[in-house]
Amino acid sequence: MKITHSRAVALMVLVTLMWSIAGVVTRHLESAQRFEVTFWRSFFTVVSLLVILPFFQGRAVFANIRKGGKALWLSGICWSVMFTAFMVALTLTTVANVLVTMAAGPFITALLARVFIGHRIPTRTWWAIAAASIGIAWMYGGQMDFSSHLGGTLVAMLVPLAGASNWTVVQHSRTQGQKIDLVPAVLVGAGISTLITLPLSFPFSATPHDIGLLALLGLVQLAIPCVLSVLCAGILKAPEVALLALLEVIFGILLAWLGANEVPGASVLTGGALVISALVVNELIGWRQRA
C-alpha cells in the first residue's frame, strides 16, 4: 500500500491513540507489581516484534541487528530506559503527570543536540523552553501533596531524557555516514528491558487478567504503533510528527479520566496546557520558517 501524506497523518493519529492506552490499562490491573508490569509489557513487545518484523523486513532484520554496531546498541539501551521508566512512573504518579512531563522531550532534545552535536537552538526555542519550565513548575507546585508525586516525576523525566539521547545518537551516526534502522533498535530495547526487569519482578503476582492486559499493551500499545510510526516518519516532516505526537498527552489524560476516573487537578491542566502550547507554537513557527 502506498502511503500518501494524508494517510500518514491518519496513521500517526491512530499511533498516538494506541500509545495513549497505557495509563488507563494499567489502572485496571489487579495485583501485578511495579517491575512485573514493566517485565510483562516488554516481554510481549519482544514476542510481537519477533513476529511482525520478519513479516515486514524478512530475515534481514536480524542481520541488521548484528551489523548495527555501537550506535544501534546505544539506541536500544535508550529504548529500554524509555520502556522501563514509563511503566514504573505510571505506578508512582498520575497518568497526567507522566504524560505532561514527557511532553518536554523536544526541548530536552534541543538542549542535548546543542551540547553534543552542535545544533544551534533558535531564540524561539529558548523562549519555549522557558515557558515550558514555568508550566511544569506550576503543574507540580499547585499540587498539595507534592512529595507523593516527586518520585514519579523524576522517573518519568528519564523517558524524554532517554528519547533525546536516542535522537542525538541517531543524528550523530547519520552525520558520520551511518544509517540506523530504528525498528531493530526497538526490538533490542524491549529485550534489554525484559532482561533487566525479570529478576526485579519476583515473586510474580500478576493474575491471568493482568497478564492479558499487559500482553495487549505489548502488542497494541508498543509493537504495532512502533512499526506504523517508522513508516510514517518516512513521509511526514519532523515538526508534523512532533505536533501529532502531542495527541498522546491529550488522549492519555482523557482515557484515564473517562476509563479510570483519574481526574487531573486544575494545576495539572493549566500547567500542562502551557507546556503543550509552548511546544505547538515553537514547532509551528519553525515549520513556517522552513517552508
Q: Which DSSP letter does residue 236 get?
A: S
Q: How far lies 19's CA from each of 58, 68, 223, 242, 288, in Å?
A: 25, 27, 10, 14, 28
What does the buried/exposed string (b/e) look like for 165-175 if buried means 16 or more CB atoms within 10 Å of the residue's CB? bbbbbbbbbee
Give tens-digit pLDDT for 180-194.
677 788 899 999 999
Q: What's residue 148's pLDDT? A: 61
pLDDT at 144 (0 to 100): 45
How far are the Cα atoms of 20, 115, 126 from residue 108, in angstroms, in the given order? Answer: 21, 11, 11
Per-residue pLDDT at 175 exceeds 80 = no
Alpha-carbon gap, residue 167 to 188, rounded angstroms = 16
Q: Residues 212-258: pLDDT tens digits?
A: 999 999 999 999 998 888 778 778 776 677 777 778 888 888 899 99
Q: pLDDT exceeding 90 applies to what percent of the chain?
A: 36
Give the count of domains, the chain.
Answer: 1
The pLDDT tens digits of the residues spanning 40-87 come to 999 999 999 999 888 877 777 888 788 778 888 998 999 999 999 999
> What percent of the chain stands above pLDDT 70?
93
φ, ψ for residue 278, nearest 5 deg: -60, -40
Q: Does pLDDT of 291 surpass 70?
A: no
What range defines the domain where residue 21 resides?
A: 5-290
pLDDT tens, residue by residue, 100-158: 888 888 778 888 888 887 877 778 878 887 887 788 778 766 654 555 677 888 899 99
**3-state SS class at 102:** helix
State the Cα–Cα distance between residues 23 and 95, nearest whole angstrom. Answer: 6
pLDDT of residue 1: 56
pLDDT tens-digit readout, 5-26: 788 888 988 999 999 999 999 9
Instruction: Name residues whose C-beta falls within 8 Å of residue 189's C-beta, 6 or more positions apart in sequence.
Output: 75, 76, 77, 78, 79, 80, 82, 83
pTM: 0.85
Give me the long-range contacts of 125-133 (CB less than 8 A, separation at least 24): 125/282, 125/286, 127/278, 127/282, 128/278, 128/279, 128/281, 128/282, 129/278, 131/274, 131/275, 131/277, 131/278, 132/103, 132/104, 132/107, 132/274, 132/275, 132/278, 132/279
